[in-house]
Structure 1
Amino acid sequence: MSALKKLAGETVIYGGSSIIGRFLNWWLVPFYTRMFLPEQYGIVSNVYAYVAFLLILLTYGMETSFFRFAGKSKKPDEVYSTTLISLLVTSISFVLAVFVFSGNIADWMEYPSHPEYIRWMGLTVALDAFTSIPFARLRLKSRPVRFAFVKLTGIFVNIGLNIFLIYYCPKIIDANPDSIFRYIYNPHIGIGYVFISNLVSSAVMLLLLFPDFIRKKMVFDKQLLLQMLRYGWPLLIVGLAGMANQNIEKILMPKLLPASVDGLKQLGIYAANFKLAVLMNLFIQAFRYSFEPFFFSHYKGEDSKMTYALVMKYFVIFGLIIFLGVMLYIGMAKYFIGSRYYEGLRIVPFILMGYFFQGIFYTLSLWYKLTDKTSYGAKLALLGAVITIGLNVLFIPVLGYMASALAFLVASVAMTVASYILGQKHFPVKYDLKRVALYFVVALVLYAVGVNINISNIVIHYALRTIVILIFLGFVVVKEKRELKRLFV
C-alpha cells in the first residue's frame, strides 16, 4: 500500500503537469477548429501524424533503455551522457538530411509549395527527441517540480504564439496596415504559424534544460550504447507500431478516400473529434509517466505482483469513470470544437474505448520489460499495427473515418488480450479479472442507460446523467471498501 501511495503521489505531480499541459494544448483544438476550415485543420493533423512517427524513430527506444540501465548501474551519469551523446548525433544528422531533401519530402507529402513546413517540423522533432533524455532523467531522479516547470513553460510559449500569430496579428494589421507587426506576420504563411509556434516552444525547453547538460561530464561508453540499443530496438518497433495504431489513419485517409471526397476535410473532422477523447488520453499519459519508473524500482519487492494487480484494477476503475463522464456529457463537450466538425461525434465512444484498452495494454506490458523480453512487445505492437493498417486500407474507401475509429478499438483490444495471455506464461500476475470484468459490464450497462436519458430540461437532463455516474462510483466504493480503507488509512 505504501508503494501504491507513492505511485499515486508521483502520478498526481507528473500527471498533474502532463494533464494541465495537454489540457492547455487541447484548448488549441477549439481555437483551430474555429480559425481553420476542416481541410486546413486536416493538413495540420496530417503533418503532425508524420511528426509522431519521426519522434519515435529519433528516440529509438532510448528513453526506456535509459530507465533500465541507469536504474541498475553504479554509474548512472555515464548512462545519461552516453545516451545524450547518441541522441545528439542522430538528431543533428536528421536535421541535415531534412534540410537537404525538404523539397523532395514536400513533394511526396503533397505539399510542394511548402517545403518550409518540412524544415520547421524537422527541427522541432530533433529538439524534442534530444530533450527526451533530460526529461527522463528528471523523472528518474524524482524531480517532478522542475519537470513540470519546463514542460509547462514550453506549452505556454506554444499556446501564446499560436494565439498571437494566428489571431491577433491579422487583426492588428487589418486595423493598422503600417503597424510594426507587418514585419512579423506574413498572411501567406497561414497554418504554418502552427508549426513555427511549436518550433519556438521546443527551443525554449531546450534552453531551460541546458544547465543539466553543462553540469555533467560527458562520457561516451560505446559498449554500453550497444547494450542499450540491443535492449531498446524492440521498443522502437513497439513505438512505431503503437503510433501506427493511433496515427496511421491520419496519413492514409487522404490517400484512400475516393477522389470525389475531400480527404483532408474528412481527416480534419476525424482529427477534431478524436481530440474529444483527450481526458482518457491524459489519464493514460499521466499514469505512464510514473508507472514505468515505479515498476522498475519495485519489481524485487515481496508483494510486487500483488501491487501490480491492484494497479491494474484501479486503472480500469478510473478509466471507466472517464469513459462514462465524457460520453454522458458529450452534449457539452462537443462545444469545444467548431460546429463544422459535429458530424464526426459518432467516433468518440470508439476512440475512448480504444484509448482505454491501450492503457490496459500498457499496464500489462511490465511483464516483457521486467523479463528483458522486449521482442514480445514488438510482436504485440506489430499485431496491432497489422490490424490497424489492414482495417483502414480495407474499409476507409467504404466507411470513411468511421473505419479508422473501429480499427483503433479492434487493434487495442486484440493487443491487450494477446499481451495478457503471453504475460501469464512468462511473468504470471494474479489480476482480479472477475472484478475487472464486473466493473466493465456495469459501466457499459450504465452507459446504455445514461445515453438514453434525453430530457428537454437541460438541468434535469444532466442531473440524471450525473446520477448514473454516481451509481457507478457508489458500486465501486461498496466493492472496494476494504482496500480503500487500507489505502487511505
Structure 2
Amino acid sequence: MSNLKKLAGQTAIYGLSSILGRSINFLLIIVYTAYLSKNALGAFTGIYALIGFLNIIFTYGMETSFFRFATGKNLDPKRVYNNAQSLLVGTSLVLGTGIYLLAPQLANWMDYPGQAYLFRWMALILTFDAVLAIPFAKLRLDNKALTFAAAKLTNITLNVGFNLLLIIAIPMWIDQGVIAEGFWGYRSDWGVEYILLANLLANGLIIPFVWWKAGFFSPKLEKSILQPMWKYALPLLFMGLAGVTNELVSRLLFEYILPENFYPGLSSRDAAGVFGANFKLAILMNLVIQAFKYAAEPFFFRESGNKNSPELYARVMHAFIIFCSLLMIAISVNLEWMGPLFLRSEGYAEGLYIVPVLLMGYLLLGVYFNLSIWFKITDKTQYSFWITFIGALVSIVVVILLVPIYGFMGAALSTLACYVVMSVICFVFGQKFYPIPYQTGKDLAYLLIAFGLSYLGFWFSTESEILSFFLKNAFLITFIILILVLERKELIRFLAKKG
C-alpha cells in the first residue's frame, strides 16, 4: 500500500503541474474561438495532428527504451543517457532538415499553397521537442518531479504568453495607434501562423533549462549500448505510429472526408475547427492520463523485480479506473455550462454531444497504458505494434465509414472503437504471457456504469438551469455513493496505512 501512496504522490505532483499548465493552456481555446476564424482553427487542428504523428518518428520509442535500460542492473544510467541523447539529437537534426527542405511539397499536399513557412516552423518544433524528450525522461527517472513540473509549467506559460501577445495584444495596440501597422512584419491576416510561432519560441527557450537540470550529455554512440536499445525501441516506434494514428486520425482526416455542406454554413475546414475545439474539451481526461503516465512508467519498471508486482499493478489499475470514471461523469454532466464558457463564438456548441464519447475513449487509452506494462517488462514489445496496428485500422475504417454519415459523432466513435479493441487484445495476450490479477468484472462494471451515467447526465435537462445543474450532478453523486459502498474496506485500509 505504501507503494500506491508513493505513486499517488508522484502522480499528484505531475498532475498538479499538468492541471495548472493545461488549465492555462486550455484557456487558449477561449482565445482561439473568440479571435480566430473557424478556418484558422481547422488549420490548427490538421497541422497539429500531423505534428503529433511526426513526433513519434522523431523520438522512435527511445524514451521507454531509456527507462528500460537505465534501470537495468548491468548498465551505467549515465552512459545510457549519453548514448540515447546523442542518438536523438543526431537523428532529430537529420529529420528536421529533411522536413524543412520538403516544406513546399508538404504545403501543397495539405492544401496550404504558398505557406511553406508553416511546415518549416513545424520542422523546428519537432526538432526541439525531440531533443527535450530524453532529458525530460531522465528527470522522471531521477524522481525530480518538482523540477519536471517547473519546466513544463514554464514552457506552457511562455507558449500562452506568446499566443496572447501575437493574437490579442499586438492587434489591439495597432488599433489604438500604439504601434504602426506592419510592426516587425506583423500580419493581421495570420491565424494558425501565430499558434505555431508561439509554440516554436516557447520550446526553443526552454531547452537550456531542461538540459541543465537533467545534466548535460557527453556525445557518445556506443554500439554495445545502442544496439539493444534500438532493438527494444523499434517495435515501440511502430506501436507509437499506430497509436498516434488512433488518437489523431479523426482530426487529421476529418476535413478531407466530411462531405461539403454536411453542416449548413460551414466548409469542411470550418467543421474541422468545430470538431477540434470540442475535442479539446476532453483534454481534462487526457491530462490526468498524461500525469499518471509520467509517474507510472518509471514506477512500473522499478517495481518489476518485486515478486508482488502483479498484485500492485492490479491495484493501480483499479484505482485508476475509479478516479477517471468519476472525472468522466463530472465533466459530462456539466458540459451544458462548461461548453459555452470555453467555446466563445457561435456554432461550437453544436459538437458538445461528442465529448462524453471522447472522454470514454481517453479513459480507455489510460486503461490500455496500464495493460501494456506486460510487454514492456517482458521485452515482448513486438506485440505492441500488432495491437496498435489493429487499433489504427479500426480507427481509420470507422472514420472513413461513419464521418460521411454521422459527421462529428462518426469521428468520435473512431476514437472509442480503437481503444476498446486495443484494450481487449492487450488484456487477452497479457494474461497469457504475464498474468495480472485484475478485478476484471468490477472494473468493467464501473466503466459501463460510468459511461451510462455520463451520457444520461449530459442529455438530462429541465427548464430551470439551477434545477438542471443539481439533478445532472445527482448522477455523479450516485456513482460516488456506489464507490464508497463497494470500496469502503479498501479505502479505509489505504487511508489508515502508514508509510
Residue 420 (1) aligns with residue 427 (2) = yes
| 1:368–1:452 CA distance, 2 compared to 1 (3 A) | same
In structure 2, how many angstroms separate the alpha carbons of the residues matched to 1:64 and 1:189?
38
Q: Judge which range, 430-439 or 151-160, deviates more.
A: 430-439
Q: Is the 8 A contact 2:100 2:120 kept in 1?
A: yes
Residue 210 (1) aligns with residue 211 (2) = yes
Following TM superposition, by how much is the alpha carbon of 1:42 offset from its aligned partner in structure 2, in angstroms? 0.2
Q: What corresponds to 1:66 in structure 2? A: 66
Q: What corresponds to 1:266 in structure 2? A: 271
In structure 2, how many angstroms separate the alpha carbons of the residues matched to 1:71 and 1:289?
16
Q: What corresponds to 1:243 in structure 2? A: 244
Alignment of 1:224-235 (within 5 A): 224-235=225-236
Q: Is the 8 A contact 1:78 1:218 kept in 2?
A: no
Alignment of 1:130-149 (within 5 A): 130-149=131-150
| 1:35–1:180 CA distance, 2 compared to 1 (3 A) | closer
In structure 1, how many angstroms separate the alpha carbons of the residues matched to 2:177 and 2:408?
43
Q: What corresponds to 2:220 in structure 1? A: 219
Count of residue pairs brought into register by the alignment: 489
Q: What corresponds to 2:256 in structure 1? A: 255
Q: Judge which range, 1-10 or 212-221, deviates more.
A: 212-221
- Cα deviations by residue, 1:267-307 (Å, 9 ceiling, x for unpaired): 11111111111111111111111111111100121321111
Following TM superposition, by how much is the alpha carbon of 1:195 offset from its aligned partner in structure 2, in angstroms? 0.5
Q: Judge which range, 378-387 or 466-475, deviates more.
A: 466-475
Q: Secondary structure at the match of 1:231?
A: helix
Following TM superposition, by how much is the alpha carbon of 1:445 offset from its aligned partner in structure 2, in angstroms? 4.9
Q: Secondary structure at the match of 1:372?
A: coil
Q: What corresponds to 1:327 in structure 2? A: 332
Q: What corresponds to 1:119 in structure 2? A: 120
In structure 1, how many angstroms separate the alpha carbons of the residues matched to 2:227 and 2:213?
24
- Cα deviations by residue, 1:217-274 (Å, 9 ceiling, x for unpaired): 3333122111111101111111111111111122222222334552211111111111
In structure 1, how many angstroms separate the alpha carbons of the residues matched to 2:244 and 2:93?
23
Q: Judge which range, 117-126 or 94-103, deviates more.
A: 94-103
In structure 2, how many angstroms separate the alpha carbons of the residues matched to 1:434 and 1:178?
64
In structure 2, how many angstroms separate the alpha carbons of the residues matched to 1:448 and 1:115?
43
Q: Is the 8 A contact 1:38 1:340 kept in 2?
A: no
In structure 1, how many angstroms separate the alpha carbons of the residues matched to 2:455 and 2:133?
42
Residue 457 (1) aligns with residue 437 (2) = no
> Gaps spanning 5+ residues in structure 1: where?
none
Q: Is the 8 A contact 2:279 2:358 kept in 1?
A: yes
Aligned with 1:478 (options 463, 473, 485): 485
Q: Is the 8 A contact 1:172 1:181 kept in 2?
A: no
Following TM superposition, by how much is the alpha carbon of 1:446 offset from its aligned partner in structure 2, in angstroms? 3.6
Q: What corresponds to 2:392 in structure 1? A: 385
Q: Secondary structure at the match of 2:401?
A: helix
Aligned with 1:402 (options 377, 397, 409): 409
Residue 93 (1) aligns with residue 94 (2) = yes
Q: Is the 8 A contact 1:78 1:220 kept in 2?
A: no
Q: CA RMSD in A?
A: 1.8
Q: What corresponds to 1:301 in structure 2? A: 306
Q: Is the 8 A contact 2:59 2:88 kept in 1?
A: yes
The letter for the 2-side match of 1:58 is: F
Residue 337 (1) aligns with residue 338 (2) = no
| 1:41–1:441 CA distance, 2 compared to 1 (3 A) | closer
Following TM superposition, by how much is the alpha carbon of 1:185 offset from its aligned partner in structure 2, in angstroms? 2.5
Q: Is the 8 A contact 1:56 1:236 kept in 2?
A: yes
Q: Is the 8 A contact 2:32 2:41 kept in 1?
A: yes
Aligned with 2:418 (options 411, 416, 430): 411
Q: Secondary structure at the match of 1:429?
A: coil
In structure 1, how many angstroms separate the alpha carbons of the residues matched to 2:365 and 2:214?
34
In structure 2, how many angstroms separate the alpha carbons of the residues matched to 1:452 and 1:107?
42
Q: What corresponds to 1:466 in structure 2? A: 473
In structure 1, how many angstroms separate the alpha carbons of the residues matched to 2:146 and 2:24?
18
Following TM superposition, by how much is the alpha carbon of 1:452 offset from its aligned partner in structure 2, in angstroms? 5.5
Following TM superposition, by how much is the alpha carbon of 1:55 offset from its aligned partner in structure 2, in angstroms? 0.6
> Gaps spanning 5+ residues in structure 2: where?
none
Following TM superposition, by how much is the alpha carbon of 1:465 offset from its aligned partner in structure 2, in angstroms? 2.5
- Cα deviations by residue, 1:123-155 (Å, 9 ceiling, x for unpaired): 011100110100000000000111111111111
Q: Secondary structure at the match of 1:373?
A: coil
In structure 1, how many angstroms separate the alpha carbons of the residues matched to 2:91 and 2:163?
29
The letter for the 1-side match of 2:406 is: L
Q: Secondary structure at the match of 1:27?
A: helix
